[in-house]
């Protein structure tokens, strides 16, 4: 009797297990939506198909989708991975999915990060899909807007605040821009980056989320300080952080921005990559260029598509005032120098009204030391790069302020001739760059990328002239003297000597 009842329990239990077995049950099939933290559309969608124990599918993000690899089910848990990047820089993310009632508990394991568990819920069969394609317009030339005769200067929320930016922070930054001396030094634009957006109202007007209760009032406040307000959107349906983009709503968005009093738009490719090919970028960016022009307001147009498809060749054609020429900067020496020293060949494409943009400044964000931040500032000035501070201006050290507001260095960046500097020579850890300034003067940056002090020299013949020249040292704030054939100085590791040759 006892043996029989144990047997019955075993059969019941195993048939229960059979019904519960997600491998047999198709329990993983469907679209699993990981909800966003803020007002983004979603964080990720797992689009999975299951046939018995075999699972295939994709992980959909706002800006891309990746096939899953190495899928396997064991003990009721589905594991798979996605691989981003190309060898040797592949980044593998591991996923573990466990049914939890009608939801799915998902553990993400990313390199260098603690595992994170989120709850995904079953979405519609189209959750995460890109929108239907809208044909891009035929190409034409958008007339120049006459803005940004020198590289734009200001501040942007992304590098320091990411999704934590809100109305109160932007107001406080505008205040600090004035009290810190940044405004007096020439910084003008206060730019809100991604994560301000919500959905659209019944007439398709884009809405701000609860972090920005009244964008018009915020613009009025920033303007009352003698500053200008910038905003951010995407030609795709979603921004890079997964918020509402301008796809299919370019004209109404440009009008809305103008009505709010916006003075600057950063327009970030992001999810447009899920609808358009890189070769279509010009037409897609032209659409917003036209819309901004038709808005009737002076709005600086900043293209952000990471330097793809030779944007410097067509950026001005779409009404662009600046275009990102690289991927995203990070607050470290490797990232900053990799970007900054890669810009030489782009120099001919910069000029008044249209600039190469090697991304925003990291000065003061803490990942580099003072010498490295002086290198950052000097290199960006030689490159005629937009100077968009990316630090918390409310809590800036005097050292950081001194780097960001050095008037002589800013004067190099803002030189009215608008000629982007070039590499004169490089060898080992040494880089010597020069920039022709108005009045026939030159800025010369002598950079030491090495780990020990170095003596660096520039000869006047390298700059194409002979005869004695006066040298002003822009970080030591002093005249260095007159020199017959050239100038030579010691430069600290990761440091720079930035001089003006009269
Ligand atoms: C992209 C851009 C960044 C920033 C983020 C916001 O990565 O290159 O500068 O705007 O999107 O999501």
What is the reported pLDDT for 21?
A: 65
Is 392 annotated in the active site?
Answer: no
What's the predicted TM-score (pTM) here?
0.94
The pair of three-digit structure tokens given for residue 404, joined into one six-digit string: 């960001």
Task: Dump pLDDT digits (tens) for 65-119.
Answer: 999 999 999 999 999 999 998 888 899 999 999 998 889 999 999 999 999 999 9
| 347 Cβ contact list (under 8 Å, min separation 6) | 356, 419, 420, 421, 422
Residues with CB under 6 A from ligand 1: 158, 193-194, 239-241, 268, 304, 328
The pair of three-digit structure tokens given for residue 11, joined into one six-digit string: 């059969």
What is the reported pLDDT for 11?
A: 45
**3-class SS of residue 210:** coil
Q: Supply the DSSP symbol for 39.
A: S
What gap in Å lies between CA 407 and CA 415, rounded to an integer? 12
What backbone phi and psi angles, to 5 degrees, belong to 499? -125, 155
What gap in Å lies between CA 502 and CA 482, rounded to an integer? 9
Atom number, ligand 1, closest to the C-alpha of residue 306: 8
- Under the phi-then-psi rule, with left for phi > 0, alpha for psi from -120 to 50, and beta for the rest, what region is 56? beta
The pair of three-digit structure tokens given for residue 325, joined into one six-digit string: 């020429």
Beta partners for residue 500, in sequence order: 443, 472
What is the rounded average pLDDT for all residues in the chain? 95
Task: Dump pLDDT digits (tens) for 243-292.
Answer: 999 999 999 999 999 999 999 999 999 999 999 999 999 999 999 999 99
What backbone phi and psi angles, to 5 degrees, belong to 409? -70, -40
What gap in Å lies between CA 204 and CA 42, rounded to an integer? 20
What is the reported pLDDT for 264?
A: 99
Domains of the chain: 22-122 (2.40.128.20), 153-413 (3.20.20.70), 422-501 (2.60.40.1180)
Task: Dump pLDDT digits (tens) for 447-461.
Answer: 999 999 999 999 999
Pocket perturbation via mutation, ligand 1, pick of 40, 161, 304, 327 by most ligand atoms within 8 A of CB: 304
Question: Which residues of the chain have a pLDDT value below 50?
Answer: 1-4, 6-16, 18
What backbone phi and psi angles, to 5 degrees, belong to 176? -65, -30
| 323 Cβ contact list (under 8 Å, min separation 6) | 302, 303, 304, 305, 307, 311, 312, 315, 354, 355, 356, 357
If you measure from the C-alpha of residue 262 to the centroid of ligand 1, how many angstroms do you get, rounded to a whole number?
19
């Amino acid at each position: 009797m006892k043996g029989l009842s144990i047997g019955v329990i075993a059969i019941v239990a195993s048939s229960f297990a059979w019904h519960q077995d997600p491998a047999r049950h198709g329990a993983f099939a469907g679209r699993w939506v990981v909800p966003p933290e803020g007002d983004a559309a979603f964080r990720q969608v797992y689009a999975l198909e299951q046939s018995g124990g075999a699972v295939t599918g994709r992980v959909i993000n706002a800006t891309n989708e990746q096939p899953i690899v190495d899928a396997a089910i064991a003990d009721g848990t589905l594991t798979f991975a996605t691989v981003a990047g190309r060898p040797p820089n592949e980044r593998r993310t591991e996923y573990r999915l466990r049914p939890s009632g009608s939801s799915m508990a998902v553990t993400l394991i990313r390199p260098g990060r603690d595992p994170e568990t989120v709850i995904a819920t079953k979405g519609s069969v189209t959750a995460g899909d890109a929108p239907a394609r809208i044909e891009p317009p035929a190409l034409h030339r958008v007339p120049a807007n006459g803005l940004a005769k020198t590289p734009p200067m200001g501040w942007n929320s992304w590098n320091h605040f990411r999704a934590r930016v809100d109305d109160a922070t932007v107001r406080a930054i505008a205040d600090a821009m004035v009290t810190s001396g940044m405004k007096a030094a020439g910084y003008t634009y206060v730019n809100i980056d991604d994560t301000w957006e919500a959905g659209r109202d019944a007439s398709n007007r884009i809405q701000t989320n609860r972090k920005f209760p009244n964008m018009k009032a915020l613009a009025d406040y920033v303007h009352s300080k003698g500053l200008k307000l910038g905003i951010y959107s995407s030609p795709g349906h979603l921004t890079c952080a997964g918020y509402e983009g301008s796809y299919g709503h370019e004209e109404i968005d440009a009008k809305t921005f103008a009505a709010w009093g916006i003075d600057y738009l950063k327009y970030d490719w992001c999810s447009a990559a899920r609808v358009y090919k890189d070769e279509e970028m010009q037409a897609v960016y032209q659409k917003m260029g036209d819309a901004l022009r038709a808005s009737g307001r002076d709005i600086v147009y900043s293209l952000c598509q990471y330097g793809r498809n030779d944007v410097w060749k067509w950026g001005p054609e779409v009404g662009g005032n600046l275009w990102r020429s690289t991927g995203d900067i990070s607050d470290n020496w490797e990232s900053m120098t990799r970007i900054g020293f890669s810009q030489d060949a782009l120099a001919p494409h910069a000029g008044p009204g249209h600039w190469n943009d090697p991304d925003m400044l990291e000065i003061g964000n803490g990942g580099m030391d003072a010498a490295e931040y002086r290198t950052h500032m000097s290199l960006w000035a030689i490159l005629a790069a937009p100077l968009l501070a990316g630090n918390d201006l409310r809590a800036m050290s005097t050292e950081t302020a001194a780097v960001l507001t050095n008037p002589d260095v800013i004067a190099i960046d803002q030189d009215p001739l608008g000629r982007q500097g070039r590499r004169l020579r490089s060898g080992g850890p040494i880089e010597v760059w020069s920039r022709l300034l108005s009045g026939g003067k030159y800025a010369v940056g002598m950079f030491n990328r090495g780990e020990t002090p170095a003596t660096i020299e520039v000869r006047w013949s390298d700059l194409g002239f002979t005869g004695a020249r006066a040298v002003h040292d822009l970080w030591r704030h002093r005249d260095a003297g007159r020199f017959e054939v050239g100038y030579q100085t010691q430069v600290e590791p990761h440091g720079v000597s930035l001089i003006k040759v009269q």
